[in-house]
Copies of this chain bind each other. A is one copy, B any other.
C-alpha cells in the first residue's frame, strides 16, 4: 500500500483521541461543579468587578502554585506583557528582542510601549529563542557607549529580551540568561502558553524575576479572559498593581493619579472562575502530558513527520501538541490541514512569522533560517486534556 502521510496523520490523531462527536477543537476548557459554585458565589456577593476577594485569592493561589511571591491579575496576557515590559524599564524607541515565531501579542506589547520589536530566530528543539544564534548576532550588532548597549545599525538603545515558551516548551533559559547578562539586557518571560511547565525543576514564568501569563479561553486554564504579571520583587508587584488600576493613589474618597495608568484589572467574576480552574490545573497537566505521550507513540511509527517532544532538562505542559513535517513533506502541510479539519479534528499551522507581517516588515530582524524552516513544517493538533482516552 502506498504510503500516504495525510491519511497516516489523520489516523494517528483519531487513534489517540478516539472517535468523538462533533468538531474537536485545538484546546477547549473543562469546567466542573467547582467553577459553577465559585462563579455563583461571586455573583451572590455582589462583587463582580474590580473589588472582591476572588482577585486576591486567585493572585495568592497562582503565586503559590508557581512558587513565587507575587502575582497581579489583569484582563489578559497582552496587558500583562505590556505592563511587565514597562516595569522592566522599556522606554519609547528602545529595541526589544522578541522571537519572530510567536503570537502577534508578543510584539504588540512592545509596540504599546512605544518601543520597537527586534525579531530573532528560534532553536529547532525548543521552538523558542535560540541563545546560540542570538549571542553571535548581538556580538555583531551591539555596541556599548556610556555603560549602555545600542544597536550600532539603528542607534537605538536595546533593553529587554522576551523569550516566549512556544506551545509550553521552555526556552534554553540558562544560556539565554548568560547572553542577556553579557549585554546588560533584562529578560521578561512571555509565559502565556507555559503555565505549569518547568525548566530544570523551576516553573517557567519564575526564571527571570518578571513574567506574563495568559488565561485566555484556549489556554491550560482560563478566566474567560485574563492574565497575570508574576514577580518575586515586592516593589515591582506594587508598581504592577498600581499601574494596572489607573495609578490611583489610595484614599478613602479622593481621586489622584500619579502616572499614566491603565484599566487592566481582572474582574472578580473572572477571578472566581480562575480559582476553580487552579484547583483543576494539576490534573489538567497530568492529562495533557499523558495525551502528549500517546501522540508521541502514535507518531513514532509514521515516517515524514515527528512529534514535537519537550526539550532536554524541561517538563512541558504540552499546551498545544505539535507535529513537525520533514523538509520533503512540507508541501503536504496544507493538505493535512484541510483533510484533518474536514474530518472534524482541528489542526492549524504555526503563526505567520512576525517579521513577515506587513506591520512589522520594516523592523530590525536577524536572519531567520530556523524559524523560516519551522514555519513551513509545524502544525498543531487537538490538545484538550479530556481527549486522553479513558479521561
Interface residues of A (CB under 8 A from B): 28-29, 31, 35-36, 39-40, 43-44, 46-51, 75-79, 103-105, 108, 111, 114, 216-218, 222-225, 246, 248, 252-263, 265-270, 273, 337, 341, 347-352, 357-359
Q: How many copies does the complex hold?
A: 2
Residue of B nearest to A28 (CB): B46
How many Å lie between the Cα of A108 and that of B245 in the bound state? 12
Residue of B nearest to A79 (CB): B263
Besides the contacts A50-B225, A224-B270, A253-B337, what 5 more A-B pairs have beta carbons closer than 8 Å?
A36-B43, A39-B43, A75-B225, A108-B262, A108-B263
A168 CB to nearest B CB, Å: 18
Select which of B111, B253, B259 is within 8 A of A347 by beta carbon.
Answer: B253
Q: Please give, as numbers and ranges, the residues of chain B lying within 8 Å of A347 by CB-CB distance.
A: 253
The CB with the most chain B CB atoms within 10 A, among A40, A44, A260, A350, is that of A260
Decide if A263 touches B76 in the complex (CB within 8 Å).
yes
List 16 A-B residue pairs with CB atoms under 8 Å apart, sorted by A's residue number. Answer: A29-B48, A48-B222, A49-B217, A49-B222, A49-B225, A50-B217, A75-B75, A103-B255, A108-B263, A224-B269, A254-B352, A255-B349, A255-B352, A258-B358, A258-B359, A269-B269
How many Å lie between the Cα of A43 and that of B277 in the bound state? 12
How many Å lie between the Cα of A259 and that of B263 in the bound state? 23
How many Å lie between the Cα of A356 and that of B2 in the bound state? 77
Q: Please give, as numbers and ranges, the residues of chain B lying within 8 Å of A36 by CB-CB distance.
A: 40, 43
Decide if B46 touches A29 in the complex (CB within 8 Å).
yes
A32 CB to nearest B CB, Å: 10
Decide if B224 touches A49 in the complex (CB within 8 Å).
yes
Select which of B44, B105, B257 is within 8 A of A359 by beta carbon.
Answer: B257
Decide if A48 touches B253 in the complex (CB within 8 Å).
no
